[in-house]
Amino acid sequence: MIIKHTPIFSLLLLVVFIAGTKEKRYLKASALQQNKIEAQLYKIDTIEVNIDSIIDISGEYELIKGRSSMIDSDDYVIYKGAMVIEKLSETDFGFYYANKIKELTPTGHFGIIRNFKNEFHTLRICNEKEVEGYSNENFVKGVYLNNQILIEKKGDLLTFIHYGSNFRSYALYKKKKPEADFYISVLKTLKKNKQFYDKFLLEYKEAVNYDKSKLEIEFVFKRGLWMSKHKHNVVDGILSYTHTYSKPSENEGFVKQDSIFNNALINYKK
C-alpha cells in the first residue's frame, strides 16, 4: 500500500518531529540539571591545603573586651579573660580559655579547631554513642567538622566569636607580652581547662590517626556547608553517618552584633 504525503500527514510528521526534538532537549536539560545538582553535593577524599593562605593564630592572648549574648536574655560583659592557642598541624589548632564575668565564677572552654577552606571549625570526635549499631570493640573513632569559630586576625589582635544555636561569645584579644602575666582570678580556671584540653588532645591524636581500613571520612557539601561523612566498616557491612551542624548566618538575630564586634577589630586603637 502506497501512503500519499498529504498536507495533514506532513503536518502530523512535523508535530511528531518537534515533540521528539523537545523531548530530547528536555532529557538533555534534565541530565545537565542532574549533573549540576550532583556537582553541588560532591565529596573530597583528600584536602588540598594552600599552606600560605592559612593564618597562624597560635599564641597566648589576653582579653581587651568581650561579651556573652543569648537569645531572649541579657548580655553579660566579659571584663577579664585569657586564651592559649597552640599549633598542632598545618591546619589544626588547639585552644583553651578562661573568662570572668562580674559577680560570677570564671568559666572556660577548650577544644580543637581546623582551618578548612579558609573557615575555622571546631573538631569533634565521633564515638560509638552517637550512632546506633556500633559495638565498642569494632568502632574506630574519627574527627568531624562542627560549628564554626569566627576568627579574624590583624597583627597581634584577634577576634574570636564562639557560637551555638542560641548564644554568641564575643572576645577581642591581643597577644600577651612575654613579661606580662594573666589575671590571677582567671589563671586558676585557665589551668583547669588546660587539664581538660590535654585529655581531649589524646583523643584527638587517636582520632586523626584512625585505621583507614575500618573508617573512611569524606567531606560533603550540603545545605551550603561542608559536612563530614563517616563510613565505618563493621561485620555486617558499612554504616554511614553524616555529622551535621548549624551555620552562623542561620540565626539572623546575631548578624548585626557579629558585624559590630568585627568592626571593633578594624577600628581598635592601642
Give the pLDDT confidence of 145-197 residue by residue, as tens digits: 998 888 988 899 998 988 776 777 889 999 988 766 777 778 889 999 999 99
Distance between alpha carbon 164 and the CA centroid of its chain, in Å? 12
pTM summary value: 0.73
Joined together, the cell numbers standing for residue 177 give 607580652
- Say which residues have a Cβ less than 8 Å from residue 70's Cβ, sequence separation at least 6: 166, 167
- Virtual CA dihedral for 184, 185, 187, 188, nearest 10 degrees? 120
Q: In this predicted structure, what is the pLDDT of residue 201?
A: 96
Q: In this predicted structure, what is the pLDDT of residue 15?
A: 39
Q: In this predicted structure, what is the pLDDT of residue 178?
A: 77
| 155, 173 Cβ separation under 8 angstroms | no
Beta strand pairing call for 237-243 and 92-101: unpaired
Label residue 249 exposed, middle or buried (CB < 10 Å: 0-12, 13-18, 19+): exposed
* Sequential pLDDT tens for the chain (270 residues): 444 445 444 433 333 444 455 444 434 444 444 343 333 333 333 444 455 567 899 999 999 988 887 766 677 888 889 999 999 999 999 999 998 888 778 888 899 999 998 889 999 998 766 666 566 566 788 999 998 888 988 899 998 988 776 777 889 999 988 766 777 778 889 999 999 999 999 999 999 999 898 899 999 998 888 999 998 887 667 778 888 887 765 555 566 666 666 666 566 665
Label residue 144 exposed, middle or buried (CB < 10 Å: 0-12, 13-18, 19+): buried
Q: In this predicted structure, what is the pLDDT of residue 61?
A: 95
Q: In this predicted structure, what is the pLDDT of residue 93?
A: 97
Q: In this predicted structure, what is the pLDDT of residue 238?
A: 79
